[in-house]
Amino acid sequence: MNIVIIILAALALTFGIIMVLQNTQLRRLTLKLKEYETKPRPVQVSEPTVAQLEAKLKSSYEAKIGEATQSFGTDLQATSQKLSEQVSRLTTTVIEEELEAYHQTLEEVRHVATQAMDQIHQAIEHQRVELRQGMESELAAEKKQLAAKFDAKMGDIVSSYISESLGSGVDLGAQMQFILQSLEAHKDDIRKDLTGEV
């Protein structure tokens, strides 16, 4: 029995030692792996491979650049077209709005000018009428004044002529017929005035 136990103990000890050893190795491998991960080791590539890789890389790069250029060109064309359309649309709208505003302003100016012209015409007409009335009244007054002056002058001339022609020899008897005829001709007027008839 003791032997068995001893054997078992020896086995267990052996197993234990093996476990410790394996564990130690595992730990070392883990550390190495970590070390490889943190510090990559330079890859050693051969010259032909490098040349091949460079050629591939170059062709791939050129292809990508070509694609990008083509794509950029397409985008640029579309953008330019859109931009052109937008500019055209904006320009048309702005011009239309400006033209509308211009027409409106022009209409307002025309309306104001028409009103001003109407007022000027009215003022001129009013002035013309006033001037004409004033001139007519002045002319009438002057005409009346001249006629009165002429009458007075003519009266003086006639009086002087009569006085000088007749001298002192006025024959009233010869005039009585004329006087009575004048009275008869205006009898109604004289009677109406004296009797107060209308």
Partner 1 sequence: MKFELPAAVYSPQLLESVIYDVQYYLDWTRQNDIRKQMGVAVKEEPNHSAETVLVIEAWLNGKPATLEALEELLDYLKGLKLPEVHITLAALPNRNQRETLVKWFRNNAKSQLLLSFVADRNLGGGIVIRTPNRIFDYTWKRQLVENRDKIAEITRRV
Give the residues lining the site for partner 1 (CB under 8 A): 150-151, 154-155, 158-159, 162-163, 166, 168, 170, 172-173, 175-176, 178-180, 182-184, 186-187, 189-191, 193-195
Measured from the CB of residue 144, what is the shortest distance to partner 1 in angstroms? 16
CA distance 118 to 126: 12
CA distance 47 to 35: 28
Q: Which is nearer to partner 1, 3 or 194 (CB)?
A: 194
Q: Which is nearer to partner 1, 92 or 163 (CB)?
A: 163
CA distance 147 to 143: 6
Measured from the CB of residue 157, what is the shortest distance to partner 1 in angstroms? 9
DSSP, residue by residue, 1-28: -HHHHHHHHHHHHHHHHHHHHHHHHHHH
45, 53 contact by CB (below 8 A): yes
Q: Which is nearer to partner 1, 72 or 150 (CB)?
A: 150
Q: Which is nearer to partner 1, 87 or 183 (CB)?
A: 183
Measured from the CB of residue 183, what is the shortest distance to partner 1 in angstroms? 6
Q: Between the CA of residue 124 and those of 26, 110, 116, 134, what are the distances in Å?
A: 123, 20, 12, 15
Measured from the CB of residue 158, what is the shortest distance to partner 1 in angstroms? 5
